[in-house]
Amino acid sequence: MRSTVPTLVLLMAAVLLTGCGYFDRGRDQAEHDSWSRKIETAIRALPGVTNASHRFEHYKGRHFTAELDVQLRDDTTPAEAASVVSAMGAQQLPRRFHGDPITVTIDRMADSYSAYWLFGRDVNTEANAANNWARLWAAGTEVHWDSSGGDADRITNTIDVRAGSESEPHRATAAMRRIIRDFPELASNQWIVSTVHERERGFTNHSERSPGSYPWHHDRVTPPPRAHPSLPVQ
């Protein structure tokens, strides 16, 4: 009996501590849920927004990750798209939230924008990226824009441009050339060009460009495993 009493005491202490941890986590989750509702209300009130959903997910200790999903109207302007990012960055969350990561995803028809940053820092770079994303799809091209890096000085933008079909790959090349002509200031990004449904067919016929490499004088298209039209280079 003497040898089992200390063991029982330790087990009871462990259960008590674990219970306290779950209690604290539940209390934290309730606070985070309350903030999520406030954020959703603020984002839904913005012009151009049709719906917004925000949530926190516990991942370590008292740290949480956050996700914001936003749906835009078809006629949303570039300024309105940027305002979504600016409004999220301006949320006055408690200081202990600072440094926790958030992922923002914005959808408009077939187009999408996503960004990742840490709470508490300036998001002007991401807001400007959202503005440029909307400028690109306003030109009549399907665009998927991803801004990642977390820290403001480490952000990289990957821009996925899609147009045309398997039988009309020249439309994808024509769309990219319009972008080169009309948006030369965006050359410092990573680019992917393909037809609209290329990813569904295995993503074998597309073109990629590293930052600063366009105009693309020597376009290289990944060859498909079977015969079908490829993105023209001239």
Most distant pair of Cα atoms in the chain: their distance? 87
Ranges for all domains in the chain classified under CATH 3.30.70.1350 = 31-150
**Which residues are 159's β-sheet partners?**
145, 191
Residue 160 pLDDT exceeds 80: yes
Q: What is the pLDDT of residues 92-133, one digit of tens each?
A: 888 888 888 999 999 999 999 999 999 888 999 999 999 999
* C-beta of residue 180 within 8 angstroms of C-beta of residue 214: yes
Q: What is the pLDDT of residues 28-53, one digit of tens each?
A: 678 888 999 999 999 999 999 999 99
The confidence score (pLDDT) of residue 206 equals: 55
* Class of domain 31-150 as given by CATH: alpha beta
Residue pointed to by tokens 């790959």 = 169
Q: 113: phi > 0 → left, psi -120 to 50 → alpha, else beta; which? A: beta
CA distance 175 to 136: 10
Q: What band does 16 get if pLDDT is binned at 50, 70 and 90?
A: very low
- Let me know if 208 is exposed, middle or buried by CB neighbors in 10 A (0-12, 13-18, 19+): middle
Residue 22 pLDDT exceeds 70: no
Residue 223 pLDDT exceeds 50: no
The confidence score (pLDDT) of residue 3 equals: 53
Percent of the chain residues past pLDDT 70, beyond the cut: 66
